[in-house]
Amino acid sequence: MSYNESETLVHVGEAQAAAASTQTMHWHAPAKGSAVPEQQRWPVEAVQQLLDMPFMDLMHQAQSVHRENWPAGEIELATLLSVKTGGCPENCGYCPQSAEFDTGVKAEKLMSVEEVTRAAKAAQDAGATRFCMGAAWRAPKDRDIEKMNELIGAVKGLGMQTCATLGMLQPHQAESLRDAGLDYYNHNLDTAPEYYKDVVSTRQYQDRLDTLAAVRGAGISVCCGGIIGMGETEVHRAGLIAQLANMEPYPESVPINSLVPVPGTPLADSDPVDPLDFVRVIAVARITMPKARVRLSAGRQQLGEAVQTLCFMAGANSIFYGDKLLVTGNPDVEADTSLMRKLGLKGLKTAQAQA
């Protein structure tokens, strides 16, 4: 039995003996797909116990799990491009692309194949091996999927891995994206099921799970994570991680975002998350999902070099690379290159190395 498997069983056993919180949290199963065997499931209480560990002990365990499953000092560089910006009918409280909020973001048409290809080539030349394309749709129409398939084919033609985040999908749409060569589909859970209604009311949590089931059913790898700092409690953070870790299988990529408050959104005045609490979430994601790429995503600008370094020590082995994430800021390439040099981190050389 490997280190991480034995740790899993130990913490599950402890959690079954004593609850870590008086708030009841539950794992929500997808509408389709097999559930994780009960003895392997991460109860929310077990995740809570990990979050509550002494910081140094938690970091040691996370780094041990990381080194058992991944090469030390290796980091994936992914670039995210908004290929269709603004005008989204959803009311996600964190998102400046919602048509309901006055954030200064204007609705734009889908970018052309030529524009996207140029952006992808520039990202590749800067060292990125994965190219992610985001479109501000609630749910794409079939004609939108056809256009996205052209973009996917163009990026694949450069030898890069492809990822898309387009909103809710039907099974036949996921299959079409797969046939076009899409490697990953991003669809974040955002937060725990119990807190979701406080963040967005235009869709249900089950809608997220159903789209993820369609993606998994089509054979596309899953990119799924959440956002920290939206006013959630620690037990909600535990609930989010449990929801992710209990997927069968858990996501291949797990982006953990620190909220970037944007003026005009309902969450613009949210209190900043404690930096060490954010590091704890990264560490627990690594422990509970040992073979996932844990991506340090939005919010890196406000974290600074020292906290980012702790996140890498806690098991983060992927970053979004480039000066913008959709419509919010991100450290520029020079800053990331400098930090990686200081820490002795090396980016993957080819997309094939990620397989």
92 is catalytic: yes
Residue 146 and residue 113: Cα distance in Å, rounded? Answer: 12
Secondary structure (DSSP) of 18-73? S-S-SS---PPPPSSSPPPPGGG---HHHHHHHHTS-HHHHHHHHHHHHHHHS-TT
Overall size of the chain counted in residues: 355
Output Rg (C-alpha) for the chain, integer angstroms: 19
Q: Which residues contact 5 (CB under 8 A, 6 or more apart)?
A: none
Q: Containing H/E element for 300? A: helix 300-313
Catalytic residue among 130, 163, 286, 293: 163
Catalytic residue among 130, 132, 300, 311: 132
Q: Which of 255, 95, 280 is nearest to 189 (CA)?
A: 255
Backbone angles phi, psi at 292, to 5 degrees: -85, 150
Q: Which amino acid is at 129?
A: T
Catalytic residue among 216, 237, 295, 300: 295
Biggest CA–CA distance in the chain, Å, is 58
Catalytic residue among 130, 208, 223, 237: 223
Q: Which residues contact 152 (CB under 8 A, 6 or more apart)?
A: 133, 162, 164, 177, 180, 181, 182
163 is catalytic: yes
Catalytic residue among 92, 208, 280, 311: 92
Tokens 């501000």 label which residue? 136
311 is catalytic: no
Helix (H, G, I), strand (E, B) or coil at 88: strand
Catalytic residue among 95, 208, 280, 311: 95
Q: Which of 108, 114, 111 is nearest to 133 (CA)?
A: 111
List C-alpha distances in Å: 213 to 42, 81, 169, 171. 20, 25, 10, 8
Q: Which two tokens stand for residue 113?
A: 């194949």
The answer to whether the beta carbons of residues 62 and 3 sit under 8 Å apart is: no
Q: Which two tokens stand for residue 58?
A: 């938690």
- Catalytic residue set: 88, 92, 95, 132, 163, 223, 295
